[in-house]
Amino acid sequence: MKLLLAGAIALLPVISVAQEKPKALKSPTAKTFYGTQACDNVITMTDLVVEKYREQPLFKAMGLQFSAQDGKAYAGSMMMFVNQDTGSWSLITLYPDGTGCMVATGREFEPYSGPKINPSKKEYTP
């Protein structure tokens, strides 16, 4: 019993650190996500969205992804693939070492036709 209690006490600092809120939050609606991404050879990842979902590249840009383990930034080419008939979309990061990672996927893709977003108004309707 003493050994079990000592083990539980030893874990208290780990538990409290794991439950700490991120310090960078600026408002009650700010969010920080820690997740996983499916990664494979870049050809395998792009073939998946092109063949299975019939998506085609819509745009690309350089981007950063941050490691959840150590916060290190990894630069890669971000490509958004879209099927304009079905509305499915995928965002894949293509890294220089030949790895491709699925950042996000979704449906109901459509061009934005709403008003310009004005940061001084402090409001936004998606």
Mean pLDDT, residues 91-117 taken together: 92
pLDDT digits (tens, 9 = 90+) for 42-63: 999 999 999 999 999 999 999 9
Report the Cα 10 to chain-centroid distance in Å.
Answer: 34
> Under DSSP, is residue 45 helix (H, G, I), strand (E, B) or coil?
helix
Residue 86 in domain: yes
Residues 117, 125: Cα–Cα separation, whole Å: 9
> What confidence tens digit (pLDDT) does each residue in 7-32 have?
333 433 333 334 444 455 567 778 77
Position 126 in a domain: no
**The pTM of the whole model exceeds 0.75:** no
Rounded Cα distance between 36 and 104, Å, is 10
| Within a domain: 115 | no
CA–CA gap between residue 98 and residue 110 (Å, rounded):
30
pLDDT digits (tens, 9 = 90+) for 75-102: 999 999 999 999 999 999 999 999 999 9
Structural domain includes residue 118: no
Instruction: Please give the tally of structural domains in the chain.
Output: 1
Q: Among residues 87, 27, 85, 90, which one has the least CA distance to residue 59? A: 90
Residue 124 lies in a domain: no
Q: Nearest to residue 66, comparing CAs of 13, 22, 15? A: 22
**In this structure, is residue 45 part of a structural domain?**
yes
Is residue 65 domain-resident? yes
Domain with 21, as residue range(s), is 2-109
Give residue 22's identity as a one-letter amino acid code: P
* Residue 52 placed within a domain: yes
Radius of gyration of the chain (CA): 20
The least confident of 27-31, 36-40, 101-105, 113-117 is 27-31
For 49, the token pair is: 């969205």
